[in-house]
Amino acid sequence: MELDGHIVEFVDSGALRIGHVRKSEHRRLRIVDRRGRESSVPRSKVLVVHGRAPEDGFPKAADTMLEAAVERAAAIDVELLWNAVREGRPDTTLDELTAQYFGRSAPELQSAMFRALEADSLYFGRRGGGYHPRPEAQVASERARLEREREKEAFRNRVGDMLRTALAGDAPETEPEWNGVVDRLERWLRHREKDEVGSVFRRIAGTHQAREAAYELLARLGRIRENDDRFLLIGGFPTTFASPVLEAARVLEPVLDDARRADWTHRRTVAIDDVETVEIDDALTVIEDGPRTRLGIHIADVAAFSAKGDALDSAASARTATIYLPNVTVPMFPSRLSAGLASLVAGAPRPAFTIDVRFDSDHALEAFEISRSVIQVAETMTYEAADRAIALGERGLNRLLAIARRLQAARAASGAQTHRRPEIKVHAANGEIALRRVDADTPSRLVVSEMMILANRLAADHAARDRLPVIYRTQEPPDQAPPDTTGLPEALRFETLRKSFKRSRLSLSPAPHAGLGLRAYTQLSSPIRRYADLVTQRQFAAALSGEPHPYDTDALLGIITSAESAEVEIRKLEQTSTTYWILTYLSREKAGAPLTAMVIDGKGTLELTDYLVRGTASEARDRKPGDVVTAHIDSIRPTAGALRLRILG
């Protein structure tokens, strides 16, 4: 059929579009739309052919045709048509359906019928240019689905209206569904449950602000308990264990009767940690053999209590790490395990994972052996008590200090950055906030740090040598040599070094760790509080027992992915919480007081010298980095981590 000059309707991306045929070709038509744009359309896409019209009069004619087609389509009863043709006619055409319904077929009626069938696709399916009536059972099923979807949409609209009202400050308590909506919003916030109410709230409040807005709303509605931590809730971190996990911990028994374990219980073993620590991961045994030294680095054997896939393991895997906040600790395992049976507390025999290291008279490493053991800590010392013992000349600890200094010097010679910042320890309880400055470079902290680095380094060397699949921690060297920080104030030295080093990564291949100055490094020294450490410990435990490795490379890759993302989340949470409590302390105790601060950069950043927390001051832009100034608080918003200062003088 020659179509030059005709108005036609054709299918394009599932919709019916109208155009004027400028030229007919063999299998295609050059068609102009109402805006005068030309396109090439296959003849097979044309469904409706209207009469001829001049091209310049086409836009107005098309508007009239479309308006009439839409009006007719709205009046078509598709269900009535389906009932008339569904028996005995499996396939039909647009022309036949139009004639069946209207008693005749014409282009303007076909146009209306197509639009009606597309608008209500419940009753007919379209294949190309043909239609088939859907079976009755399919129509009934689809009708029920659509009804459920309509009910869901109506529910979403009602919930949206209620939540908007509540966010505006007026809780719609007279609505019969309101309490249920609040219950679901609370579960969404506390447990990260997928819930329609949470989805609606996220759309209303905005994706990035939704959880904080939900916290504020629930607090106003009295749903936030006094001991609920703001940042844990907003972050969606679990704070309690399910009953099966608690029961699994309750029925645990001590693990001491394994005859294959090396017995260290007759050796004096000490644990050194912070006074508040209850999850004691590590302990040390020093055996002096004249000028030579034998050192037992003992790590809590958590693998003895929890196997891959059990209830305790599943809970720890989901949490990935213990979270330490100033006002609350959220353990990776229930306390019966983390602070009890696995913790290397004094006076109780405990299963351990031991790296037995031998040093010569110059404190150079000679040999090491890894085994599972049983130990009994004789004394748990605070870092402060250990420092006093070192100062008083305690032989074993001073021998350890000499070894630690040699190990640190060797790492520094390999490019390690051994600078460690002081930190502010914050403890918040019962409305009181206590701040304590901790020097990270005291002798006892150096000893513990270097012994744990040594244990992890030797474990990495062992795993690499025996091709044991474990998780390594690696760090690429800086793109260029770190600048010389000699003579810089401590805060600027830290800032300079922080910017020069790349972030460490987890890997399945041994590779250098530039920041530590080591050729390979793994982590198994904290299995009570880091899930990836426990996984590595299990790999070693299986190898030592001659059993198959519990984790293949695919499983380890999955653990790496979750561990790295969780590590970032938890570190951010801990930093945010610490900053909040320091700022809260400052707002209570130091409002209006003069504070010593150091200029960090040319952007107005200051660091409070006594509190190691940063703020901004516009006047600081005129000062040099490193300048020490006196300032007072101009404004402070602890929940936002925001501090503005004003420089005095």
Mean of pLDDT over the chain: 94
Q: What is the pLDDT of residues 245-291, one digit of tens each?
A: 999 999 999 987 678 899 999 999 999 999 999 999 999 999 999 99
197 neighbors 159 (Cβ within 8 angstroms): yes
Helices (H), 361-489: 383-391, 395-413, 443-466
Q: What is the distance, to the nearest Å, from the Cα of residue 549 to the centroid of all Cα atoms in its chain?
A: 28
Tokens of 433: 């906030």
Q: Is the pLDDT of residue 186 over 90?
A: yes
pLDDT at residue number 184: 95
Q: What is the pLDDT of residues 414-424, one digit of tens each?
A: 999 888 889 99
140 exposure class (CB count in 10 Å sphere: 0-12, 13-18, 19+): exposed
Tokens of 402: 């000499």
Close Cβ partners of 215 (under 8 Å, ≥ 6 residues apart): 189, 224, 230, 233, 234
User: CB 500: neighbour CB atoms within 10 A?
Assistant: 16
Of 114, 134, 154, the position where a domain reaches its end is 134
pLDDT at residue number 530: 97
Residues 153, 284: one domain? no
Q: What is the pLDDT of residues 442-487, one digit of tens each?
A: 999 999 999 999 999 999 999 999 999 999 999 999 888 777 888 8
State the helix-helix crossing angle for 311-319 and 243-250, rounded to 10 degrees. Answer: 120
Regarding pTM above 0.95, the answer is no
| Pairing label, strands 269-273, 365-382 | parallel
DSSP structure class, residue 541: H
Would you mind telling me the total number of residues written for the chain in this entry?
A: 649
Q: Mean pLDDT lowest for which of 22-36, 296-310, 537-551, 581-595?
A: 22-36
Residues 156, 215: one domain? yes
Residues 107, 143: one domain? no
Q: Domain for residue 75, yes or no?
A: yes
Q: Domain for residue 460, yes or no?
A: yes
Helices (H), 417-552: 443-466, 490-500, 531-545
432 neighbors 420 (Cβ within 8 angstroms): no
55: confidence class by pLDDT, cuts 50, 70, 90: very high
pLDDT at residue number 193: 82
Q: Is the pLDDT of residue 496 over 90?
A: no
Residues 340, 389: one domain? yes
Higher pLDDT pick, 419 / 300: 300
What does the radius of gyration of the chain's CA atoms come to, in whole angstroms? 36
Q: Domain for residue 247, yes or no?
A: no
Q: Domain for residue 577, yes or no?
A: no
Residues 371, 467: one domain? yes
Of 105, 134, 163, the position where a domain reaches its end is 134
Q: Domain for residue 241, yes or no?
A: no
pLDDT at residue number 583: 98
Residues 369, 489: one domain? yes
Q: What is the pLDDT of residues 479-492, one digit of tens each?
A: 887 778 888 898 89
Q: Where in 277-318 does DSSP place strands (E)?
A: 282-289, 292-300
Q: Mean pLDDT lowest for which of 140-144, 190-194, 345-349, 524-528?
A: 190-194
Q: Minimal CA–CA distance to 579: which of 605, 551, 614?
A: 614
Measure the CA–CA gap between 300 and 528, rounded to whole angstroms: 7
Q: Is the pLDDT of residue 495 over 90?
A: no
pLDDT at residue number 127: 81
Q: Is the pLDDT of residue 88 over 70?
A: no
| 240, β-bridge pairs | none
Q: What is the three-state SS of 219-276?
A: HHCCCCCCCCCHHHHHHCCCCCCCHHHHHHHHCCCCCCCCCCCEECCCCCEEEEECCC
Amino acid sitting at position 190: R
Q: Mean pLDDT lowest for which of 103-112, 125-134, 220-229, 554-563?
A: 125-134
Average pLDDT, stretch 296-302? 98
438 neighbors 377 (Cβ within 8 angstroms): no
Q: What is the pLDDT of residues 114-157, one digit of tens each?
A: 999 999 999 999 887 789 999 999 999 999 999 999 999 999 99
Q: Return the percent helix, strand and coil in the chain, to nearest 5.
A: 45, 25, 35
Residues 211, 299: one domain? no
Average pLDDT, stretch 41-53? 92
Cα within 13 Å of Cα(247), Cβ side:
5
Measure the CA–CA gap between 471 and 564, rounded to whole angstroms: 11
Q: Domain for residue 356, yes or no?
A: yes
222 neighbors 182 (Cβ within 8 angstroms): no
| 48, β-bridge pairs | 9
Q: Domain for residue 72, yes or no?
A: yes
Measure the CA–CA gap between 311 and 289, rounded to whole angstroms: 45
Q: Domain for residue 482, yes or no?
A: yes
494: confidence class by pLDDT, cuts 50, 70, 90: confident
Residues 611, 539: one domain? no
pLDDT at residue number 80: 94
| Pairing label, strands 349-359, 292-300 | antiparallel
Residues 261, 129: one domain? no
Q: Is the pLDDT of residue 221 over 80?
A: yes
Report the CATH number at residue 642.
Answer: 2.40.50.140
- Give the number of domains in the chain: 4
| Pairing label, strands 38-42, 28-32 | antiparallel
Of 522, 538, 571, the position where a domain reaches its end is 571
Residues 34, 175: one domain? no
| Pairing label, strands 15-24, 6-12 | antiparallel
Residues 142, 277: one domain? no
Average pLDDT, stretch 190-208? 91
Write out the residue range of the structural domain in which residue 426 sits: 257-571
* Cα first-last separation, the chain: 92
Helices (H), 324-427: 335, 383-391, 395-413
Residues 503, 387: one domain? yes
